[in-house]
Amino acid sequence: MEKLRERLRYLQDPHLVARFQHFCGVRGTFSRSGAGKAGEKPTGVRRRIADLNLKEGSESPPQNGAAGGAPELREENGSEAPVKVKPLRKNSLTGDAGQEFLIQNRFLYYMFTLGTELGNESFYITFFPFIMWNVDVFISRRLVMVWVWVMYLGQCTKDVVGWSRPASPPVVKVEMFYNCEYSMPSTHAMSGTAIPFSLFLLTYGRWEYPSSLGFCLALSWCLLVCSSRIYLGMHSVLDVIAGVLYSVLILIFFLPALDLIDDFNLNCRFAPLVIISLHLGLGLFSFTLDTWSTSRGDTAQILGTGAGVTLASHVNQRLGLLPDPTPDRLPLSFPSLGAGLVAAAVMRLVVGVLVLVATRALMKAVTIPLVCRVFGIPSDDVRKARQHMEVELPYRYIVYGTVGFNVLFLVPLLFSHLQLS
């Protein structure tokens, strides 16, 4: 048992993250004199911000990757000249832009930057509509269900466990946006495991393609997302491993139930009431686990999107729109790739995204002032107003619920009128 604890402590050690970053060519630029603030106790935003700092009274070490005893930066023969880079995106809570760092391997930097985007909500908000509009509605709506549950359970678990991000120093913070959020488990690793492997399992036998190719693509997607979170200094190795295993556990129980859940959502006349109540209740519960943060809003956004897509699926079923292929047409085969096919897919994506962007802008302009007026909260400072659960939860639900509904109902109707179906 003691050996297991030692192994877990080793996997959680931020120095392990720092060594991986050093191996990949990431170097910190903090000096010993610049670390004086590391031990100060903050007065505000969240308890988790304090968890990221060193204990008061400790000796100030060199920061952001310049750990004591680490070799000085040298440009070795044949290696790339180091490039100074700023962290990706400011801290979502404090606005801190972070400390500049040095990159010696640009290929790995861009590769892992792309990899972490494969686990971000912004990617899935584009990826899921593309699958719906161009590939398979059946697969896409089930992927959305998997995504909603995996991300919700992962985020709630983070708030219960309450572990802070890897400390800097010794870790270099290549990304700052989620630096004040909790760390265990990695929800990027969870979605980066659940989505590609669910996509593989759901399409296996339904679409004709080499299964070995599908598995290799899913595994590559998963490994890229998981390793990117360590590279960016956002997670320990233990966080990532736990995220992968947690995601696998959820899939073991959830995937076999997808047929039953999907059938209920499509055919039960009480499904709309259950869908709205369930997703709203889950959002209210998640807001009670901790104080406000961007992750609270992200959770509500995911739940709202899932509710909207599921409601649209029910409405489509009632109206006989977007029917699933009959079993005798399976397995489906991919059409030959041609200029016309690519042009139609691009046109659908452009038109659909424009509709969604317009929907989001319109609903946002209407919802925030309306909700603030209902609950008596000043709307002059939108960022401050959205830190109230009474504003953030209905705002995210209404806006992204409408966006999710339009993805699968309004946009396909528009395609049929424009002869883009």
Q: How many CB atoms lie within 10 A of CB 326?
A: 7
Phi and psi at 326, nearest 5°, equal -70, 155
Q: Which residues contact 44 (CB under 8 A, 6 or more apart)?
A: none
128-139 b/e with 16+ CB inside 10 Å = b? bbebbbeebbbb
Over the stretch 352-361, which tens digit does the pLDDT of each residue have? 989 998 998 8
The full DSSP string for 259-309 is HHHHHHHHH-TTHHHHHHHHHHHHHHHHHTSSS--HHHHHHHHHHHHHHHH
Tell me the average pLDDT of the chain.
Answer: 79
Confidence label for 142 from pLDDT (cuts 50, 70 and 90): very high
Query: What integer is the mean pLDDT of 116-121?
Result: 79
The per-residue pLDDT for 126 is 84
Which residue has better confidence, 249 or 115? Answer: 249
Please name which of 9, 13, 15 lies closest in space to residue 61, comparing C-alpha atoms. Answer: 15
Within its chain, how far is the Cα of 1 from the centroid? 34
Over the stretch 400-409, which tens digit does the pLDDT of each residue have? 899 999 999 9
Sign of CA dihedral 13, 228, 182, 41: positive
Instruction: For residue 83, list its beta bridge partners.
Output: 103
Rounded CA Rg of the chain? 23
Query: What integer is the mean pLDDT of 107-135?
Result: 84
The per-residue pLDDT for 311 is 93
Query: What integer is the mean pLDDT of 169-194?
Result: 82
The per-residue pLDDT for 54 is 39
Query: Six-digit token pair at 162?
Result: 């309450």
Give the ranges where 35-181 is alpha helix by DSSP (H).
Answer: 47-52, 106-117, 121-134, 137-161
Cα dist. 411→180, 267, 287, 316, 348 in Å? 37, 22, 32, 12, 9
The full DSSP string for 153-169 is HHHHHHHHH-PPPPPTT
Listed range (91-95, 258-262, 414-418) with the worst mean pLDDT? 91-95
The per-residue pLDDT for 77 is 42
Confidence label for 61 from pLDDT (cuts 50, 70 and 90): very low
Within its chain, how far is the Cα of 176 from the centroid? 15
- DSSP code, position 99: -
d(CA 267, CA 318) in angstroms, rounded, equals: 8
Task: Report whether the peptide linkage leading into residue 331 is cis, meaning its omega lies within 30 degrees of zero.
Answer: yes
Query: What integer is the mean pLDDT of 217-241?
Result: 90
Positions marked catalytic: 188, 235
Query: Six-digit token pair at 389?
Result: 């659960």
**Percent of the chain clearing pLDDT 70 (strictly above):** 81
The model's pTM: 0.80
**Percent of the chain clearing pLDDT 90 (strictly above):** 20
d(CA 411, CA 400) in angstroms, rounded, equals: 15
pLDDT at 198 over 60: yes
26-28 vs 101-103, strand pairing mode: antiparallel
Phi and psi at 55, nearest 5°, equal -65, 145
Query: What integer is the mean pLDDT of 35-56?
Result: 40
**Looking only at Cα atoms, what is the longest distance across the chain?**
72
Query: Six-digit token pair at 42?
Result: 């903050």
The full DSSP string for 348-416 is HHHHHHHHHHHHHHHHHHHHHHHHHHHHT---SSHHHHTTSHHHHHHHHHHHHHHHHHHHHTHHHHHHH
pLDDT at 342 over 70: yes
Cα dist. 125→52, 170, 294, 310, 320 in Å? 30, 34, 17, 15, 25
- DSSP code, position 175: B
Query: Six-digit token pair at 68?
Result: 């004591």
- DSSP code, position 235: -
